[in-house]
Amino acid sequence: MHAPTNAYFSLVKRILRLIQGTISHGLPFGPSSFELQAFSDCNWAGDASDRKSTSGYCVFIGSNLISWSAKKQPTVSRSSTEAEYRSLAHATAELSWLHMLLHDLSISSVLAPILWCDYLSAIALASNPVFYTRSKHIEVDCHFIHEKVAAKKLVLKYGIS
């Protein structure tokens, strides 16, 4: 992205031709706004063999799905709040990167990206600048998300995803 060449533009054209040829496969793209929003969720201790959680998110520009991820978390979460919060941190990082990318492409949005979460405790933790002893093990994620929310570069909303 910092030094695009003709080879990169050829690859972009190839990707766009691939998308054009697979429109009937289920990812519709249509005219919409450039507002970013994401949905984040996880299943706490969902893997019965090692009790690690799986995080997932999907990101939309307007009504078009542009990015998604579903990954097993690298460590065991000791609470459902911790698992959800780690999932929020991954989605926040993706939203931040995409927001900067759109800005670099001179497509700036008036509104901050919205991150939807279905877990009120994780939203409360992101809104509260005081970190309790029970949450010190996820303190870096707390600072990362809280900083984005406090700077109004991210809006957290409660919703069933």
The CATH number that applies at residue 50 is: 3.30.420.10
| Parent domain of 47 | 30-158
Calculate the average pLDDT of the chain. Answer: 86
Report the phi/psi class of residue 62: left, alpha or beta, with left for phi > 0 and alpha for psi in -120 to 50.
left
Is residue 66 domain-resident?
yes
Specify whether the CB–CB gap between 62 and 35 falls below 8 A. Answer: yes
Counted domains in the chain: 1
pLDDT for position 133 = 47
* Structure tokens belonging to residue 22: 């697979």
Of 135 and 66, which is predicted with more confidence? 66
Which tens digit of pLDDT belongs to each residue from 60-111?
999 999 999 999 999 898 888 889 989 999 999 999 999 999 888 888 777 8
pTM: 0.76
Is residue 7 domain-resident?
no
Specify whether the CB–CB gap between 33 and 44 falls below 8 A. Answer: no
Residue 156 pLDDT more than 60? Answer: yes
Is residue 16 domain-resident?
no
